[in-house]
Structures are given as C-alpha cells and as structure tokens.
Structure 1
Amino acid sequence: MLDAVKRTFMGLWSALRRSAGLFYIAVSWPFRARHSTAGKRSLIFRAVVALLVLVLVAAYGQFLWRTQVWNGFDPEFAKAYGFADRKVAAGQSLPDKPGTCQNSGIVATVADLTDGNVNQNDWVSSTLLYKLGFFGLDWDDTPFFDNKASFQRGVNQVARRVAIELADNLGRVRGTSGINTDLQDARGNIQFDESTWYFGLSPFGFKTPSPGYYRAAIKSWRKFNSDLETCKAVFDARADNLVQLLDRSANDLGNTSDILRRRSEEHNAGWFDMRADDRFWFAYGQLYAQYAIFQAASADFADVIRERNLTAIWAEMEKQMAAALRIQPMIISNGSEDGIFMPNHLSTMGFYILRVRANMVELRGVLER
C-alpha cells in the first residue's frame, strides 16, 4: 500500500518536473537562439520584453509610492489655523480692519482637506493601476494598497456634505438670497465621480480625471473666502444653519456606524477579512475630516456657541473625535469582540463614532430648544 502511494507521488512529481521543463523551453527559446535569423529576431524580442518589464517596474513602483506614502497626514492639523484665537464669527466685520470681514474657517478647512487629497497626495481611486485591480480583482477586495484610497474617499465624503451645506444654507442670507456662484460651482465639482481616469468606456472617450474637478472646487472655495474677506460675500452663521450641519453630519456617521456593524457581524474573520481595512479607513477618513471641520465651525459659529452655552459639549465632541483618531493599527482585524489574538477594530471604531454622533445629537437638541 505504501509502495503504491509512493509511486503515485513520484509519478506526480515527475509529471510536474516535465511540465515545468516544457514551460521553460517554450518561454526561453527566443533568448537561447544566437546564430541564426531566429537569433536576431530574439534580440528584438528580448529588447521589447525588457522594455515592458522596465515599464511595469516603474509603473508599479510609482503605484507603491502613491498608495503607501501619506503626505501631510496629521489628525491635529487644524490646530495650526488658530481657530481658538478668533474673536469674530465668520462673515462679521473685523473691528480693527475697516472694510474687512472674517473669512470662514469651514471653507478654508474643506479646501485644504481636498488639497491634501489631490495636490499633496495623488488621488488613488482614479489611477489606472488601481482601477485595473489585482489581476482583475478589485483592490478593495484584497488586503493590499487600498487603505489610502479608502481614507481619501472618507475625507471626500465629508467635503461633499460640507459643499452642499455651504451652497444651500451657509453662503446665503436665510436661504432666500441667490446661491453664491463659487459655492455652487464647488458643490458641482466635488460631487464628481471618484474613479474617473483620462479615458473611459461609459460613455466612451477621453475624460477629465476626478482630481481635475476637485482642484476646480478648491479654487472656487478659495475664491469665495477671498470675497468674504472683502465683505463681497456672505456667511450666515445662524443657529438653524448649525443645526442643519450637525444633523446631516450625524446622519452620515450613523450610516457609517451601520456599515461597520454589519461588516463586523457578518464577516467575522479576524485578520483575514479582506474588506475590513477599507471599511475602517473610510470611517477614519470621515472622522479625520469632521474633526477639522468642526474645529473650524466652532470659530465660524462662535457667537451661537457662546450664547447657547455649548462650549463644554462641543469640547467633549472634539475630545471623542481626537480619541478615535488615535486608533491607528498596523493591521486591521475584524475578530470577535472578546477575542484575544485577533481584536475587532471595526467595533472599536464604531463605538467611538456612536459617541461622537451622540454628542452631535445633544448639541442639536440644545440648539433646537
């Protein structure tokens, strides 16, 4: 019996060796011909193959750089704006500078967040190699090269939300005046598809890639803030506008929390859950952007926050956001909630998101009373 099993495995091994030998001959024959016409053709063939290999190495080297190097990443970057030192709400006249108004921290922050996505870094989701995937498999379905793209999409989701609020409410007087054209243009551009490359099939033809539209949005936001500084634009820092911003941001967090919960419950595979990382980093990017936006909002709505005694609740919300952003595991695990070796980072992030959302709901409740 043992001899039969041994002969079977030896036969399989022999067959594998012969197959490997035939494959080697088939691939290497152009490189071994040297003294004939075939040999001359093989030189051309080798040169073409070498060129293709060099192109692939360069392309994937660039792809590795784009996906693994995070320029300007700093959860506390908004501290540099000095929002806590501002004495005047957005859109109000500066007493020490006649003819000048306070610009909007929210607008400056959303422009810089988007600038970080497309100028300080490459926008990963629309690059060719990211769209091609890993041998046809979407990078989001692998544990490789998708964390930065997911983070960027989380930041962009917040930018899209803020763009809507700016165009529809904050940049208009009580929502009845005309829409500011710069804010309207920014809203349209930041909503553009996140994965458009220079060429596409639906519709067929050449296209402007996604980063081009996002750069146009940055330009429009900065133009609006320049006009606001010279009192040529308006920023309506009313309590009901802050309620809208809080309410819709809380709804976005609620949706993200539900996504994390469902992933955690339905795909409990520890380190081997291939989609856990992009779910985590999308949520992280969303909180990263909201943390900066709401630090800016505390300056833009300074009068409302002071008059409604919201300072302590607001500070607690920012504290919870900062705590969530300190969670930066090297490998994202979607294990059981009481696991020892494979923790559940999705549940942990979901817990902090719900705490932040609860603070937003509390703030909204106080403002509505």
Structure 2
Amino acid sequence: MSFSDRLAGWRENLRHRWMYRRGDGSQTASGGSSTAANGSGGGFFGSLNRPGMGSMAKRAGLAILVLILLYYPIGMFIVHTVDDDIEFTPSAADKAEGGSMAVAFAAGLIDREVNQNSWTANDPFFQPGTLLDNMPNFQQGIMSALARFGFELTDQLGRTRGSSEADPDLQRAAGLLQYPGNVWIWNPSVSLAPRASSESQYRDARTRLLAYNARLAKG
C-alpha cells in the first residue's frame, strides 16, 4: 500500500470519528432539550412541572401556602375599623320619641360595634381579626364604658323611687354588658359545649335598653 493510500485511510478514519462525536453531542443536546421541555430540570420549581402525583401535591401545597400568606394580611386590612367618630349619633331605630337620648346613644354604640362592624375581640385563630390589636382593644373599651354607664343608670335612674326595685330591663342590660368580650361560641379549654358569645350577649343588652327606652317614652 502506497503512502498516499495510507494517508487517505487515516483521513477517512478521522472523518468518521469526528462525525460520530458530533452525533453524540447532538443527541446529548437534543436529550437535554427534551429534558428541559419536559420540566425535569433540577430544583424545587423545576420539579413542579414534572408529571405525576408528587408534583401535583407540591403544586397544591404551594397554592395553599400562598393563600394562607395572603388571607391574613388582606383580611386584616378589610376587617380593621376603629370607628372613633366623635360626631356619632344613634340611628332612628335606636331612638324613642320622649325617651332618653343617653340610652339611645348606648344602644347605638352597641349596634355600631357589634352589628355594623365586626366584633373582633373574640375572633378564633382561623379568622384574620385574631391578629388585630387596636380594633379589639377599642371595642372592649367601648363596652367597658357602656357597662359602667349601665350600672350607674340602673342604680341612679332606673328606680321610680330611691328605695324601689331597679328596672328589670336596665338591670339585665347592665349585667349583659359586663360579659367578657373575648368569649367565642366554643372554647374546648373551658367546656366542650357551645357557649353564649360576647356579641350575642351585647345584642341582648341592646334589646333590653331599647325596651326600657320605649317604655320610658310612653311614661
């Protein structure tokens, strides 16, 4: 075999080897592209795109975590209301022609804090209001002042004569307004049975005040 034939053989051999290597590289590149396309890359977020129950569970868990992280701050922003309007006046439903305006104001404040605004002092852990601070303290301060007012009203004005029996509606309202403001309908640390919530007691107190005022207006 001549030298030129040997040189041609070496060149052909090198050409085949080079083509073989390029073929491996292209296959590897295409394999990597398909891997990326299938979402089987590394990392947590890459694993979310993989097919199967595991990735579905991860996506569901991530969605729940995002909802929880958004639920509390957005809910707190919506619920939070410190209604300290000094121009507050009771509504027509709280007034009685010829009745006491002081009693009407007390009934109106109860209605505002319990019915119009959300009572947050007894919110359980799964409600956004449980993380609030200013609003529940403000609301409990209002009720504490109204409880004192109800006691004085019963003792000083709720008797037809100084030694007579106190008006039953005022007496009941004064007692209900002293109910703790942080009592929810269920507290397993105290009892497994449902309990009267704070807002239900305050609503009952408002009903008693309105009944007294209506009777007072009639003389």
TM-score, normalization: structure 1? 0.41
Shift of 1:49: 4.3
CA distance in 1, matches of 2:214, 2:86: 26
1:76 corresponds in structure 2 to 87
- CA distance, structure 1, for counterparts of residue 47 and residue 156 of structure 2: 68
Instruction: Select which of 164, 168, 187 maps to 1:181.
Output: 168
Alignment of 1:1-369 (within 5 A): 28=44, 31-32=47-48, 34-35=50-51, 39-51=52-64, 53-54=66-67, 57-67=70-80, 69-71=81-83, 73-78=84-89, 102-129=98-125, 145-205=132-192, 206-231=194-219
- 1:158 partner SS: helix
Q: Which residue of 2 aligns with 1:362?
A: none
1:16-70 residue CA offsets vs partner (Å, 9 max, x unmatched)? xxxxxxxxx6xx38953724xxx31331342244245425533442222222x34
Q: Deviations over 1:155-212 (max 9, x none)?
A: 1121010111122231112332222221122112111111112321341223232111
Partner of 1:314: none
Q: CA deviation at 1:106?
A: 1.3
Deviations 1:240-298 (A, max 9, x none): xxxxxxxxxxxxxxxxxxxxxxxxxxxxxxxxxxxxxxxxxxxxxxxxxxxxxxxxxxx
Aligned identity (percent) is 31
Q: Would the aligned equivalents of 2:107 and 2:210 in 1 still touch at CA under 8 Å?
A: yes
Taking the aligned partners of 1:188 and 1:33, their CA distance within structure 2 comes to 61
SS at match of 2:117: coil
Greater RCO, CA 8 A, separation 6+: 1
What are the superposed Cα offsets for residues 65-99 of structure 1, whole Å, 9 maximum, x if unpaired? 222x345x421224999xxxxxxxxxxxxxxxxxx
Going from structure 1 to structure 2, the CA distance change for 1:122 and 1:178 (only over 3 Å counts) comes to same
**Structure 2 contact 158–166 (Cα < 8 Å) conserved:** yes
Q: Hey, what's the Cα distance between the residues in 2 that align with 1:185 and 1:75? A: 28
- Report the 3-state secondary structure (helix = DSSP H, G, I; strand = E; otherwise coil) of the residue aligned with 1:119: helix
**Structure 2 CA distance for partners of 1:52 and 1:79, relative to 1, 3 Å:** closer
Give, as a single letter, the amino acid of the residue that structure 1 aligns with 2:154.
A
Letter in 1 for 2:48: R
- Give me the CA root mean square deviation: 3.4
TM-score relative to the length of structure 2: 0.66
Residue 165 of structure 2 aligns to a residue whose secondary structure is coil
Q: Helix, strand or coil for the counterpart of 2:187? A: strand
Structure 2: 5+ residue stretches without partners: 1-42
The answer to whether the 8 A contact 2:159-2:165 is kept is yes
**What is the DSSP-based 3-state SS (H/G/I as helix, E as strand, rest coil) of the residue aligned with 1:126?**
coil
CA shift digits 1:302-323 (9 cap, x unpaired) = xxxxxxxxxxxxxxxxxxxxxx
Matching residue's letter, 1:61: I
Whichever of the two has the greater Rg, that structure is 2
Deviation of the 1:153 alpha carbon: 2.0
CA distance in 1, matches of 2:76, 2:97: 44
| Secondary structure, aligned partner of 2:162 | coil
SS of equivalent to 1:155 = helix
